[in-house]
């Protein structure tokens, strides 16, 4: 049986851990609120953007834009992985890794090469040893700046145009709810605006023929396509950010609860040890008294 002192130290340690985890839980909750707000603010922008893209691309040949070109022979597939910069958020990052690895395995079995662009420290740390990482952006997940997304989008687009990759996917942690975050894979390049089945889009597409364009539709498209990539990557970053905080919140909540259980168990153990000690001492005294009577 563990000695009294040992158990006491252990209880102290677990208590301190639970203080840290519950503080982290609260910090994550506060940060989640901010990240969620940003995500919601961004939503109208993406919606409007997609609307315009669909109505614009409806009456245009996709072949004339290099960023929309679908290449038949694909040799290299690029995957942009958006993960968090920090750990201690449960299985959040490893779920993204798993989804990515599945994708890599799928492409490699088809005899294609895969190159990775890692956004967030954790992804880079995990995939570094595979030697597939082409570029890594770390320490940018905390601030969510549009220009970070732009830098990434420009780099990815340049690589695509230079035929360094023939297809680009983005993998990120989609924020479903505070309790559920799902790794999600989306096609980034070649750009294929959502062929949404909704009647709205079809209507907008039909009406697009009557639009006046300034400058020409082609030139507008040239401006919109890179912007579209910005939007996609920024969106992925925001989703991952919110998911990260939500995941950390739940996992820290679990950790705090586990700490409480542990403290309870240890306290029981401590009390047992204490009682055993008292009993042993009493036995000693009684034994001594008996011996003196002798």
Partner 1 sequence: MAEKIKLEVVTPKGAIVSEEVDIVTAPGFAGEFGVLANHAPFLSTIKVGTLRYKKDGNESELMISGGFCEVSNNKISLLVESAERGHEIDVDRALRAKERAEKRLMQAREKQENYDRTRAEAALQRAMARLKIAQHKL
> Sign of the C-alpha dihedral, residues 109, 112, 113, 118?
negative
* DSSP structure class, residue 116: E
Does residue 212 touch partner 1 according to CB under 8 A?
Answer: yes
Considering only 180, 200, 213, 282, the residue that binds partner 1 (CB under 8 A) is: 213
Does residue 42 touch partner 1 according to CB under 8 A?
Answer: yes
Shorter beta-carbon distance to partner 1: residue 32 or 56: 56
Question: Is 259 known to be catalytic?
Answer: no
Q: 60: buried, middle or exposed (CB in 10 Å: 19+, 13-18, 0-12)?
A: middle
Encoded tokens for 135: 């570029």
Report whether the peptide linkage leading into residue 215 is cis, meaning its omega lies within 30 degrees of zero.
yes
Considering only residues 218 to 247 of the shown chain, the ones binding partner 1 according to CB under 8 A are 219-220, 223-224, 227, 234
Number of residues in contact with partner 1 under rule CB under 8 A: 27
- The answer to whether 172 and 183 are in contact (CB under 8 A) is yes
Considering only 16, 48, 102, 257, the residue that binds partner 1 (CB under 8 A) is: 48
Catalytic, out of 39, 67, 82, 89: 89
Q: How many CB atoms lie within 10 A of CB 13?
A: 13
Identify the bridge partners of residue 115 per DSSP, sorted by sequence position.
78
Shorter beta-carbon distance to partner 1: residue 108 or 194: 194
Give CA–CA dist 224/229, Å, rounded: 9
Does residue 30 touch partner 1 according to CB under 8 A?
Answer: no
Considering only residues 74 to 133 of the shown chain, the ones binding partner 1 according to CB under 8 A are none
- The answer to whether 55 and 207 are in contact (CB under 8 A) is yes
Q: Give the binding range for partner 1 (CB under 8 A) out of 23-31, 38-46, 115-123, 173-181.
A: 38-46
Does residue 270 touch partner 1 according to CB under 8 A?
Answer: no
Does residue 41 touch partner 1 according to CB under 8 A?
Answer: yes
Across 236-258, b (16+ Cβ under 10 Å) vs e yields bbbbbbbbbbbbbbbbbbebbee
Considering only 24, 32, 49, 159, the residue that binds partner 1 (CB under 8 A) is: 49
- Tell me which residues touch partner 1 (CB under 8 A): 38, 40-42, 44-45, 48-49, 52, 56, 146, 204, 207-208, 210-215, 217, 219-220, 223-224, 227, 234
**Catalytic positions:** 89
């Amino acid at each position: 049986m563990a000695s009294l002192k040992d158990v006491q130290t252990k209880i102290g340690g677990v208590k301190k851990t639970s203080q840290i985890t519950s503080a982290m839980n609260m910090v994550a909750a506060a940060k989640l609120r901010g990240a969620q707000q940003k995500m919601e603010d961004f939503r109208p922008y993406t919606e409007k953007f997609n609307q315009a893209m669909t109505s614009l691309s409806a009456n245009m040949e996709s072949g004339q834009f290099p960023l929309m070109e679908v290449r038949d022979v694909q040799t290299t597939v690029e995957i942009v992985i958006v993960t968090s910069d920090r750990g201690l958020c449960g299985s959040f990052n490893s779920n993204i890794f798993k989804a990515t690895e599945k994708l890599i395995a799928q492409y490699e079995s088809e005899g294609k090469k895969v190159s990775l662009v890692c956004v967030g420290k954790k992804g880079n740390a995990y995939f570094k040893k595979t030697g597939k990482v082409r570029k890594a952006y770390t320490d940018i997940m905390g601030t969510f700046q549009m220009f970070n997304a732009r830098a990434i989008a420009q780099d990815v687009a340049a690589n695509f145009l230079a035929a360094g990759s023939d297809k680009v996917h983005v993998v990120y942690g989609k924020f479903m709810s505070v309790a559920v975050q799902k790794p999600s894979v989306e096609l980034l390049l070649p750009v294929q605006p959502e062929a949404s089945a909704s009647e709205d889009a079809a209507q907008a597409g039909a009406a697009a023929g009557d639009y006046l364009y300034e400058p020409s539709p082609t030139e507008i498209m040239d401006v919109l396509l890179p912007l579209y990539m910005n939007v996609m990557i920024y969106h992925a970053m925001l989703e991952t950010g919110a998911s990260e905080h939500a995941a950390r919140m739940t996992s820290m909540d679990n950790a705090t609860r586990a700490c409480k259980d542990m403290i309870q168990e240890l306290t029981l153990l401590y009390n047992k040890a204490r009682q055993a000690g008292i009993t042993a001492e009493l036995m000693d005294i009684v034994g001594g008294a008996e011996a003196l009577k002798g």
